[in-house]
Amino acid sequence: MIDLTTNFIDLNLMNVMYLFFVGLIGGLVSGFIGSGGAFVLTPGMMSIGVPGLVAVATNMCHKFPKALVGAVKRAKFGQVDVKLGLVMGASAEAGVLVGAHIQEYIKKTFGDAGSNLYVSAAFVIVLSIVGTYVLFDAMKTKNNNKTNKAEEITKIAKWVRSVNIPGTMVYFKSLGGKVSFLFTIPLGFATGILASTIAVGGFIGVPGLMYVLGAPAIMASATELVIAFVMGLLGSLKYAMGGFVDIRLAMIILAGSLFGVQLGAIGTTYVKDYMIKIVMGVIMLIVLVSRGLMVPVYMGQLGLISPLSDNTVTMLKTISFITMVAALMIGALIICAALIKGMRAERKLNKLAEFEVSTTALK
């Protein structure tokens, strides 16, 4: 039997305020880039002592209502491809079940330290690969915008679109054509298994939609919210049956997230694709540092390396926490700055248009 007595942390006023802030920024990021914000929320909970598995399970529990709100909000702007989201969501559910079994096995075999190490190490690996690539691609996209060069889809996306498998071709509006749904199965499964093991399915979902299928960044981020809703619903039920969902944390984070996700969704209407990628890449790389600092702590607890001194552990936990807060603040500032800049630019265009209309009327 798994000991559940150590699963839940004590809540004080500072923890509640911090979790609300984490939820607010997580929702802001989620609505803006469509990844669910889990790469902010899961490490954010772990930074105050929440066990890795509980952080993952609780994050999935809060995710599906927040994702639903974000998807509905962005659907009003015409950014959501519901059909593609549901098709990928179907295979993602299989990945969720497999990933949940993996996490529960690690918890049962190695305890909290093993689960924490698995989650943190997975974050470091995934964030380093995806974050670097997304940030590099953002710079490339930005340069294309400066030269008025149209952003081209990747070679693999062109190949995927060129493959015609009879009986499997489905039209998706975000792709502007038909694609075999068979290509969505591995993407959906990988998204689901990552979501249920470290609660960051958007790391695979959003880049997969953009670089493998060729969906625009704005539509990819919006469609991922549909997938996140489908995964979160099943995943939270699966983990709740095992006693790993801390509903207190879920409700606090959800309270902040529901406000932040709407603001983030509005922000996407004022910014270009490359800004969404920049925000995603920057936050990923900062969170990578925060989780990476904790890896030797967990390794020492498992006896994989010589145990660290109490002073060293305290220092690493403090730096990790500060780095996590910095990631939250920087992400919020980038999004808000982009939102304000976009709103000002739109206001200028509207005034110019009104001036031209009035000038024409006088003539």
Q: How confident is the model at residue 169 (pLDDT cuts 50, 70, 90)?
A: very high
pLDDT given for residue 2 in this prediction = 47
pLDDT given for residue 5 in this prediction = 45
Distances (CA, A) of 180 to 35, 93, 159, 176, 275: 24, 19, 12, 13, 30
Helix H or strand E segment including 112? helix 82-146
Q: How confident is the model at residue 221 (pLDDT cuts 50, 70, 90)?
A: confident
Q: What are phi and psi of 178, to 5 degrees?
A: -95, 140
pLDDT given for residue 182 in this prediction = 92
Longest dimension (CA), the chain: 84
pLDDT given for residue 307 in this prediction = 85
% of the chain exceeding 70 in pLDDT: 86
> Among residues 105, 116, 111, which one has the least CA distance to residue 55?
116
The alpha carbons of the chain give a radius of gyration, in whole angstroms, of 21
Helix H or strand E segment including 178? strand 177-180
> Among residues 30, 74, 80, 36, which one has the least CA distance to residue 269?
74
Give the pLDDT confidence of 137-150 residue by residue, as tens digits: 777 777 766 555 55
In degrees, rounded to 5, the angle at the alpha carbon of residue 89 between the alpha carbons of residues 224 and 238 is 110
Q: How confident is the model at residue 283 (pLDDT cuts 50, 70, 90)?
A: confident
pLDDT given for residue 104 in this prediction = 84
Give the pLDDT confidence of 95-127 residue by residue, as tens digits: 988 888 888 888 888 888 888 898 888 888 888
% of the chain exceeding 90 in pLDDT: 9
Give the pLDDT confidence of 63-92 residue by residue, as tens digits: 777 778 778 888 888 888 989 989 998 899
What is the model's pTM? 0.71
**Residue 75 region, left (φ>0) first, then alpha (ψ -120 to 50), else beta?**
alpha
> Among residues 209, 261, 187, which one has the least CA distance to residue 27?
261
pLDDT given for residue 185 in this prediction = 92
pLDDT of residue 270 exceeding 80, the answer is no
Give the pLDDT confidence of 5-53 residue by residue, as tens digits: 446 788 888 888 888 888 887 777 766 665 556 677 788 888 888 888 8
Q: Which of 26-30, 62-66, 174-178, 269-273 has the highest mean pLDDT?
A: 174-178
pLDDT given for residue 7 in this prediction = 62
pLDDT of residue 1 exceeding 60, the answer is no
pLDDT of residue 259 exceeding 70, the answer is yes
Mean per-residue pLDDT over the chain, rounded = 81
Provide the 3-class DSSP secondary structure of residue 170. Answer: strand
